[in-house]
Structure 1
């Protein structure tokens, strides 16, 4: 179930002047209609933008829904460009120009990054997941984490933005333990201390024994996702060490 939408703009702006309208806006339109799961939020965003554009409404209402489409409902710049272009043929070219002038500002800061992320997500069956905030201090750059299985054996999809890598680290256990990496999308690297860097592409598998100092992460010019499979062990834990230096990682630019 998606996160419940809560709207207060009606009461904030019109609560005293038009309380009934504020109620319909906050409690019915957004509280009930937008939270109805018969249509997903991305589709609702697109429908709303098309309706506003068709009506020639290019004020703060359209800006709000464009921002929601991008930030909350997963509409990419490439998708929005296609939507506005398509609708402009049916409702009028000037309306297309007006909508583009707003959409361009909404998507301008993170357009390339969002499109690359969306393309990476489309290339694999596993979700990218949420920002890996709990382990951010052990990474250089932004990573994401999506739990795939928490029963029997822990399986996680770990995604790295271009240039992101984790610190040198060691898996410890009194018995058993270690980790298995399976690349599912993009291009990345794995390296053990004192050994050559190994390139990882979809389908490649790395077995990491306990006690081995190593790191893994994305190539400088590619997103990278791998499944991290935790091998069961007794008294297992990770020892996080120093970051992979720019000099150590920089050799990848020569490959």
Structure 2
């Protein structure tokens, strides 16, 4: 596929009120895309919409919980009626928790899987008919380097991101004939509100956070990957190192991870 033209594209971004979602929505707007943005925090969405309009792009806001089927349908309907179609779907909404698995509740696991995996899958399902009609369509699923390597005190989050990786690989093959590109974003440590907004934190582990990158850095890397139709982007040096070490020396990585358990 030739280099993807962002200008004039019609995009949906979920989880757009902060962090990577917000930065990516702004970067898409600066590149000339029109957007539908969604997240639970309506005031944050309104502020982001003002910033998008300030760069001359059209934006529609759909506040709500992405696990709600009615919200997902409203997002796609907004793309159809206000933008005239859909070329880019970014599934970014996510949530996490910190703590040992044996001390966690079943409700915590279900909530993480509902937001990080089931909502992503069902958002994709409802958007696919419209995306299939788009210009150089692409599906972007935001995962994590923890979708490549599980770490202690984040078992539910890791499981949800491994699920996103597997779903994306399978769907990439199924959609290749259309063609719809499927790209996975696997950020490492990023300067976002993630740790402040986890569902629960009962962990005493102190993970190193050196080398954290900004959401804007991640967003620019994602835009480059979208232009190229890149299957995955890991916009974090130490994340790429972790993935490589896990492939080359999994036993050693197990011992390293056990120190933080």
* TM-score, scaled to structure 1: 0.29
Q: Structure with the greater relative contact order (CA < 8 A, sep ≥ 6): 1 or 2?
A: 2
Which structure features the higher share of strand residues? 1
Which structure features the higher share of helix residues? 2
* TM-score, scaled to structure 2: 0.29
Between structure 1 and structure 2, the one with the greater Rg is 1
